[in-house]
Amino acid sequence: MTSPANIVVFDLDGTLIDSAPDIRAAANLVLVARGHVPLSLAETHQFIGKGAANFIAQMCVARGIPADQSAGYLEAFLEHYVSAVTETTVYPHVFETLAQLRSIGLVLGICTNKPLKPTQSVLAHLGLDQFFTAVVAGDSHSVRKPDPLPLQDAIAQCGTGRALYVGDSEIDAETAARAGQPFALFAQGYNNTPLADIPHTARFDDFRDLPEIAKRVLGG
């Protein structure tokens, strides 16, 4: 009988990719067309993490846009967001690390609050889609992170081995805790909380350190 393969599931924005410039560009197309001041990159970082609807809700508050108009802004944003890939970059050493994790027998997945179509677009554009057995996005379920269901689903799609969740934020940490899974914190992402205050099993700044973390946490 083949033994279960262990699993590593990743958040996407701020963990594997720096997508804030593209998210900002898509949002600013909507804002500027309606006569509003564009978002700064710092504001964009602050608003990322809880899904597109939450991002637009925070954007509307920041620009004094009435809440009853946010649905229209979200619809317009999503039209641009699907193709917002040209300014997104992969963090250093992600490609070789994902290849190494696969080579040592780990099954990889994605659990993100980013909507599915933009997720698929950016993964394909960057050539990252080849690595992942499961992709669970912000609209894959009726709930999103920090609810544990999306992470539990991503793990279940990957198999039955032990799992590690990798992310960059307090939202990811809470998701892992609620799902009962260990959490590795990428310290160079979009977190809005001091790193010392984010619960984690392990912390890293360089993706080249992740394989050893995975071996230590998952065994083998």
172 is catalytic: no
Q: Which two tokens stand for residue 36?
A: 């509003």
Q: Which two tokens stand for residue 207?
A: 């993706």
Shortest CA distance to 44 belongs to which of 31, 35, 33?
31
How many other C-beta atoms can be found within 10 angstroms of the C-beta atom of residue 41?
Answer: 11
Distance CA 188, CA 32 (A): 30
Cα diameter, the chain: 63
Put residue 35 in one of left, alpha, beta given phi > 0 → left and psi -120 to 50 → alpha. Answer: left
Cis peptide bond upstream of 115, omega within 30: no
Q: Which two tokens stand for residue 147?
A: 């609810």
Cβ(107)–Cβ(133) under 8 Å? yes
Q: Which two tokens stand for residue 93?
A: 């050493």
Residue type, 58: Q
**Unique residue bearing structure tokens 């594997």:** 16
- Active-site choice (11, 22, 168, 172): 11
- Torsion over CA of 176, 179, 181 and 185, rounded to 10 degrees? 0
Kindly list the catalytic residues: 11
